[in-house]
Homo-oligomer: A and B are copies of this chain.
Amino acid sequence: MIPDSAAAFPVTVDVVALTVRDGALQVLLVDRLLEPFRGTRALPGGFVLPDESLEDAAARELAEETGVVAPSGNGPGPGHPWHLEQLRTYGPQGRDPRGPVLSVAYLLLAPAFGLPAPGGDAAEAAWFPVPDAEEPGPAGTAPLGALAFDHDRILADGVERARAKLEYSPLATAFCADEFTIGELRAVYEAVWGTHLDARNFHRKATGTPGFLEATGRLRAEGPGRPAELYRLAPSVDPAAAVLHPPLLRPPATPAPPT
């Protein structure tokens, strides 16, 4: 019933896994063990199996190549702040030397987590900072511009999607642990956007936006300074669909001074 003219394409999933570590936006990259692009850095990913959903394939490849076990789907329950969403699909022509291959890219936003022993088709999975500007840095600081396949473009698309989503969705909390302080949340915005935000105004805006945060009543003291109140993502909200009103807009341009 499917016409003969219809071609069948191998399909891969590639995951842009982002986190905030050491005050910077970082991406999870692997070293490829197999051809093509053997020895080159790439996004974790691989071929979709016959009976798999795309999202399951993304979670499986992430687990195989980085040892990370992601919850299937966007865990709504507490303790699963991770967020996995589809980014876009990159066309079959001219992106794989082996022939036409379709790649469905996924975006994973997660708190910083350790990287167990690698396996599968990749070795040395590690976090790499995403440079603030999209242009590769002058020194060897920028991992961009050197990835396998069209992964540079996929990474750029993923970073831009993450930056845009922080403005009007509660997804910044996906980078935080289950409970977090306003300061930690602000650090997420500053790292992802590469900007400096006024701590006082951010506090008012974050706590004053309905449907965003819920106070736990507990405090957390960390180093000097007054202990901060702990918050969690407001319940009864799908963080992928909720809309912040008013949105938290990123300022036009004023990079943070490198502390």
Q: How far is the CA of A86 from the CA of B245 in the complex (A)?
A: 27
Residue A35 interfacial (CB < 8 Å): yes
Segment 66-120 of A: residues with Cβ below 8 Å from B: 86, 88-89, 91-93, 98-102, 104
A89 is contacted by which of B10, B49, B99, B104 (Cβ under 8 Å)? B104
Spot the interface stretch: A1-9, A19-27, A133-141, A184-192. A1-9
3 tightest Cβ-Cβ pairs between the two chains A and B:
A6-B47, A8-B8, A7-B50
Interface of A is mostly: loop
With a cutoff of 8 Å between Cβ atoms, the chain B residues found around residue A89 in the complex are 54, 86, 88-89, 104
Contacts A2-B98, A98-B2 given; does A93 touch B47 at CB 8 Å: no
Q: How large is the interface on A (under 10, 10 to 19, 20 to 34, 35 or more residues)?
A: 35 or more
Interface residues of A in 1-53 (CB under 8 A from B): 1-3, 5-12, 35-36, 47-53
**Bound Cα distance from A54 to B35, whole angstroms:** 26
Complex: A51 Cα to B9 Cα, angstroms: 11
A159 to chain B, nearest CB (A): 15
Q: Say yes or no: B2 contacts A47, CB within 8 Å.
A: yes
Residue of B nearest to A245 (CB): B252
The CA-CA distance from A10 to B6 in the complex, in Å, is 7
Q: Does A55 contact B (CB under 8 A)?
A: yes
State whether A9 and B11 are in contact (beta carbons under 8 Å apart), knowing that A88-B88, A89-B104 are contacts in the complex: yes
Q: How far is the CB of A150 from chain B (nearest CB, A)?
A: 13
CB neighbours of A98 from chain B (8 A): 1-2
Q: How far is the CB of A258 from chain B (nearest CB, A)?
A: 27
Question: Which residues of B are found within 8 Å of A52, using beta-carbon distances?
Answer: 92-93
Query: Which of B35, B51, B91, B102 has a CB less than 8 Å from the CB of A55?
Result: B91
Of the A-B pairs whose beta carbons lie under 8 Å apart in the complex, a sample of 10, sorted by A's number, is A1-B98, A2-B98, A2-B99, A2-B101, A6-B47, A8-B11, A48-B92, A51-B100, A53-B92, A89-B104
Q: Give the residues in chain B near A101, CB-CB below 8 Å.
A: 2
